[in-house]
Structure 1
Amino acid sequence: MDQAEKLRKLVKEQEKTPRNIARVITVTSGKGGVGKSSIAVNLAMALSRLGKRVVILDADFGLANIEVMLGIRPKYNLADLMFRGKSLTDIITNGPDNIGFISGGSGIQELTSLTRDQIIYLIQKLVELDEKADIIIIDTGAGIADTVLEFVAASSEVLLIATPEPTSITDAYALLKTLNRKTDFSLQDTVIKMVANRIGSYEEGKELYDKLNLVVNKFLNINMMYLGSLPHDNSVSKAVMRQKPAIELYPNSSFTKTIEGFADILCENEPEAIGEKKGIAQLFSNLLRSRIKNSKKQ
């Protein structure tokens, strides 16, 4: 029995055991600088205020966007869980409004060389994370790097962030085009919702979505949903400079009110998402299976 087969057996065994399965929302973008991490952090806090247990996984490995935005330096990261004997509780850092966050560190880059025991250990630990959270928000890196595409391909619910800048639109399309070519990406198992960021008006945001969705639907046969648009708001950049979330510093800003509206919408459509929920353990098992398969081809 090879590694991938053992992994499938492990996942089936986990699926037989009744347990909480967290809703996993992966936040991504075709390019950097479009406000992706800021949206991830503020959305996490808005969902927490609605009574959800929320954990952010910073999957922009090698960088530290989430901890910089929160002004909190974590003691441990995902690599410490995998290779240095730390527990899941050890690596979850407490943030504002009762959110938790996990710094990815560089350990993910070593996933292709995990032993069978390490794979079993990781998935068992991530089953624990499913128990600890109602919603897990994954903040990926930007662009079409392999690590970003692997997370998006393994996810069942994706928020794609884009701005009106021409490069943001073309890069968002490039991400979806590259994703669509991946053999392990299943359109039927993935819901992609676009968020138009730094928009001057509702009409501008809807026009941006319509323009991108038309091309994506025509050439890639992907039908994106539209979550909504976030206004261009100076309070966001001020909050980033102060290393505090805008929702905390500027509770009455247009950005905050819109993010809170997004959280309401996501909670309202939770019954639909329940059918799609696979949990973080399933997501990582999909990701690991893909890496094992790709490493054999090389």
Structure 2
Amino acid sequence: MDQAQQLRNIVKLSSQRGKNASKVITVTSGKGGVGKSSSAVNLAIYLKKMGKRVIIFDADFGVANVEIMFGTVPKYNLRDLIYKGKNIKEIIAFGPEDIGFVSGGSGITELSNLNRNQIELLIRNLSELDELADYIIIDTGAGISDAVLEFVMISKEILLVITPEPTSLTDAYSLIKVLNRSHNFQSNDCMIRVISNRANSYQEGMNCYQKLDTVAKRFLNMNIHLLGVVPNDDNVSKAIIRQKPVSLLYPNSKASKAYEEISKRLANDIKEYPNKKGIAGMFNEILTSRIRR
């Protein structure tokens, strides 16, 4: 039996996926500085206000944007779980509105070096994480590095954050193009949705999305869907300076109202994918992919 098959057997035994699997939303962007982490945090806050159990998984190794906006630094991360005997509940920190937060830390970069016992430990704990949350929001890094693409390629739901800047659109298109060319990406089993951020008007945000949608259809034969437009709002920058999410510091601001509406659309989305796998299943695919290299 090869190592990849052994891994699949571990997951089958350790993880009872299906109805207990959380709904995982992977938030990403073609470039940095477009409001990706801010979107992840503010959507999490409104989902929690709607009564959903929400955990943010920070997969942006080396950049602590979520920590800054939460105003909290996790004591432990994924590496402590794998190597230092911590369990999943011990590495969950809690931010505003009691939202759970897990830092991937350097543990993500070290997945290729795990032995069988460490893999079993990791998957078992991630299966428990699935049961603790209705939604797990993965905040990836920006761009098309291998570390970002590993999570995005295997996601059932991708939330792509763009702005009207030409470089944001070209980089977002580059990300979609790389996904489309990858044999690991199943476009017919994945929903790519867009948040058009920092738009000076709803029409500008819509135009921004339509430009990206047009080229994706024409050159890649791929469909992307608009989830919402977040207006340009000085209150977002003010909130970031104060290390607070705008939805809590300025709940009546234009940006906060937009995030609230987008969160309602997410919460009301009843679409389920037949191969719903939760975060344990996602890590299974990442580990299997690394073993095959």
Q: Would the aligned equivalents of 2:18 and 2:276 in 1 still touch at CA under 8 Å?
A: no
Q: Would the aligned equivalents of 1:154 and 1:284 in 2 still touch at CA under 8 Å?
A: no
Equivalent residue, structure 2, for 1:203: 203
Residue 183 to residue 231, structure 1, CA distance change in 2 (3 Å):
same
Q: How does 1:139-154 map to 2 (within 5 A)?
A: 139-154=139-154
Q: How does 1:103-114 map to 2 (within 5 A)?
A: 103-114=103-114
Equivalent residue, structure 1, for 2:271: 272
What is the DSSP-based 3-state SS (H/G/I as helix, E as strand, rest coil) of the residue aligned with 2:271?
Answer: helix
Deviates more, 1:32-41 or 1:107-116: 107-116
Equivalent residue, structure 2, for 1:58: 58
What is the DSSP-based 3-state SS (H/G/I as helix, E as strand, rest coil) of the residue aligned with 1:85?
Answer: coil
Q: How does 1:40-59 map to 2 (within 5 A)?
A: 40-59=40-59
How far, CA to CA, are the matches of 2:16 and 2:264 in structure 1?
32
- Give the deviation of 1:276 after TM superposition: 5.7
Equivalent residue, structure 2, for 1:223: 223
Q: How does 1:129-140 map to 2 (within 5 A)?
A: 129-140=129-140
What is the DSSP-based 3-state SS (H/G/I as helix, E as strand, rest coil) of the residue aligned with 2:198?
Answer: strand
TM-score normalized by the length of structure 2: 0.97
Equivalent residue, structure 2, for 1:212: 212
Question: Per-residue CA shift, 1:148-205, capped at 9, x if unaligned?
Answer: 0010011100100000001000000011111222221111221100110000111111
What is the DSSP-based 3-state SS (H/G/I as helix, E as strand, rest coil) of the residue aligned with 2:80?
Answer: helix
- Give the deviation of 1:274 after TM superposition: 5.7
How far, CA to CA, are the matches of 2:114 and 2:189 in structure 1?
27
Equivalent residue, structure 2, for 1:283: 282
How far, CA to CA, are the matches of 1:191 and 1:222 in structure 2?
10
How far, CA to CA, are the matches of 1:214 and 1:62 in structure 2?
34
Q: Does 1:69 align with 2:69?
A: yes
- Give the deviation of 1:30 after TM superposition: 0.3
TM-score normalized by the length of structure 1: 0.95
How far, CA to CA, are the matches of 2:275 and 2:81 in structure 1?
27
Over aligned residue pairs, what C-alpha RMSD do you find? Answer: 1.4
- Give the deviation of 1:19 after TM superposition: 5.3
Equivalent residue, structure 2, for 1:85: 85
What is the DSSP-based 3-state SS (H/G/I as helix, E as strand, rest coil) of the residue aligned with 2:142?
Answer: coil
Deviates more, 1:139-148 or 1:71-80: 71-80
Deviates more, 1:216-225 or 1:53-62: 216-225
Q: Would the aligned equivalents of 2:58 and 2:103 in 1 still touch at CA under 8 Å?
A: yes
Q: Does 1:192 align with 2:195?
A: no
Q: How does 1:148-163 map to 2 (within 5 A)?
A: 148-163=148-163
